[in-house]
Amino acid sequence: MVTDINHFNKANYRYTPLFCEENIWKLIASLTAENISINRLHCLFLINPEQKVVLNTQLAVPAGQWLSWDYHVILLANIRYHPVIFDFDSRLDFACPLEHYLSNTFIFSDSASNEAVEEFTTYIKKIPALSYRKHFYSDRSHMQGHVSSNEYPSWPIINEHSGEQVPLADYLSMTQGLESGSRLIKVDSLASVVRRLSD
C-alpha cells in the first residue's frame, strides 16, 4: 500500500495532452491497482458558466502566467489521511497537498475585484471516483477541428458500450445534477474550499 505522496511520478501514468477527463479516468484505474481504495478518490471538474476557468502554475504557459481553460479535470485523493491533488498539467508536485495546490492555482473571490469574480469564478464539481469510472463517457467530438485524429488517446473510447453512460456535457454543465453524491462547490475563500473538499 502507498504510504508516501512522494511515491507518485506522473511519468508512470498514461497521459494524452488536452484530454484531461480521460487522463483522470485512467489515473483512477492505476491508483486503485496500487491498492488505493477508490472510495478515497474524487474526480474534480473545474467549470465556469462562461467556460473561462483561470488557473495558475499550468505547464501550457510560461511560469508566472495565468491560463484560461474552457474546463479542467483533476483528481482529489486521500493518502494516509492527507488530501492531495493530482494534476497532470500543473507545475506543482503531482501529488500536491490540497491547500498548497488551491492557494497556488486559483483566483479566490474574497481577494479579487467584483468584476473578476463575476466573470472568472470557478466552480468545482466533486464526483466520487467509483461513479466516474462506471459512468463517464465521451465520444471525443468536442475535440474535432481542434486536434488531429492522431493526437487522440491511444486507448479505446471509454465506456462506449455501457448502458449507463453519463456524457461529458453533463459533467461540464452548471445545472445538470449528477447522482451518487456529487456536489458543486464555489471557489470563494481558500479556507471554505479546503473544508468542503476535505469533507
Q: Which pLDDT score is estimated for 19? A: 98
Closest to 10 (Cα-Cα) out of 78, 138, 96? 96
Mean pLDDT by 10 residues, the chain (199 residues): 74 97 98 96 96 96 95 96 96 97 88 60 95 95 90 94 91 82 90 93
Task: List the beta bridge partners of residue 79.
Answer: 82
Could you say which architecture CATH assigns to the domain 5-198? Roll (3.10)
Measured between alpha carbons, how far is 106 from 189 in angstroms, rounded to an integer? 10
Q: Which pLDDT score is estimated for 107? A: 86
Measured between alpha carbons, how far is 121 from 33 in angstroms, rounded to an integer? 35
Cβ neighbours, 10 Å, residue 24: 24
Q: Which pLDDT score is estimated for 115? A: 53
Q: Which pLDDT score is estimated for 182? A: 87
Closest to 89 (Cα-Cα) out of 27, 36, 144? 27
Q: Which pLDDT score is estimated for 175? A: 84
Q: Which pLDDT score is estimated for 16? A: 97
Considering Cα of 114, then 120, then 122, then 123, what sign does the dihedral take?
A: positive
Measured between alpha carbons, how far is 5 from 189 in angstroms, rounded to an integer? 26
Mapping DSSP to helix (H, G, I), strand (E, B) and coil, where does residue 167 land? strand
Residue 59 phi/psi, 5° resolution? -70, -20
Task: Quote the cell numbers at residue 171.
Answer: 459533467
